[in-house]
């Protein structure tokens, strides 16, 4: 019985990886770079995205895929900010997989889109487990959550090319050790870029925007 379950899981993951590659091929054919944004609930994904869009929207055509269990508030915020967005309801699932992304792309015209952000479900566990077909994974960890999170959610920090340490404007009110968090992330993932910023004030945003520009230019 246990062996059966494991077989099914392996099958599902193999199938997911195949679809994830299809998603990447499809996005490449359209000239679209896709970035998967992951974080805990309330780490500041939406605020950070809105500021990022504002910084790049005159240079690049941007769209946002919002994934939530059932709410649509974030997609509405993106629309209000003037970018095309689609809301995906995961139907109770705690993360997007490649097949959900593929389905969403079939309904969401990305012709001429340079940069597609996916704001994943707020979660540090399930979201890390499946390749969504994104070109890059970015994790946002906010200062109030604490610098110990890489110890507790190692898979998440292992699969990201970039970690944004957000809400640095609140650093005076929380015990958060910048060097310790960097060391913990790099122990899991030596190549990860770790950038410190505030989605609210804009402090530190230049390096993040440069990071995205580099990926857009080399896509």
Structure tokens at 146: 């604490």
Residue 132 touches a second copy, criterion: CB under 8 A: no
Could you say which of 55, 56, 94, 216 contacts a second copy (CB under 8 A)?
A: 94
Could you say which of 59, 76, 109, 148 contacts a second copy (CB under 8 A)?
A: 148
**Three-state secondary structure of 167-179:** CHHHHHHCCCCHH
Taking CB under 8 A as the criterion, which residues in 162-201 touch a second copy? 167, 169-170, 173-174
Could you say which of 84, 146, 193, 213 contacts a second copy (CB under 8 A)?
A: 146
The residue (of 67 and 101) whose beta carbon lies closer to a second copy is 67
The residue (of 33 and 164) whose beta carbon lies closer to a second copy is 164
Residue 124 touches a second copy, criterion: CB under 8 A: yes
Closest approach of a second copy to the CB of residue 124, in Å: 5
Taking CB under 8 A as the criterion, which residues in 40-79 touch a second copy? 40-43, 68-71, 73
Closest approach of a second copy to the CB of residue 206, in Å: 23
Closest approach of a second copy to the CB of residue 134, in Å: 20
In the complex, the residues that contact a second copy under the rule CB under 8 A are 40-43, 68-71, 73, 92, 94, 121-126, 129, 142, 144-146, 148-149, 151-155, 167, 169-170, 173-174
């Amino acid at each position: 019985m246990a062996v059966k379950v494991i077989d099914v899981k392996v099958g599902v993951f193999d199938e997911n990886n195949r679809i994830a590659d299809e998603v990447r091929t499809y996005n490449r054919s359209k000239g679209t770079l896709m970035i998967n944004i992951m974080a805990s609930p309330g780490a500041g994904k939406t605020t950070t995205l809105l500021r990022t869009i504002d910084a790049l929207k005159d240079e690049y055509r941007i769209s946002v895929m919002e994934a939530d269990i059932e709410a649509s508030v974030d997609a509405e915020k993106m629309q209000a900010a003037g970018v095309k967005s689609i809301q995906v309801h995961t139907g109770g699932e705690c993360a997007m997989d490649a097949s959900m992304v593929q389905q969403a792309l079939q309904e969401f015209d990305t012709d001429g889109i340079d940069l597609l952000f996916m704001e994943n479900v707020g979660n540090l566990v399930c979201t890390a487990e499946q390749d969504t077909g994104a070109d890059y994974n970015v994790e946002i960890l906010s200062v109030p959550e604490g610098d110990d999170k890489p110890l507790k959610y190692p898979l998440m920090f292992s699969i990201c090319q970039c970690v944004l340490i957000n809400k640095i404007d609140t650093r005076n009110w929380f015990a958060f050790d910048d060097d310790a968090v960097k060391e913990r992330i790099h122990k899991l993932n030596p190549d990860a870029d770790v950038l410190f910023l505030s989605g609210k004030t804009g402090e530190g945003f230049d390096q993040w925007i440069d990071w995205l520009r580099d990926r857009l230019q080399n896509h």
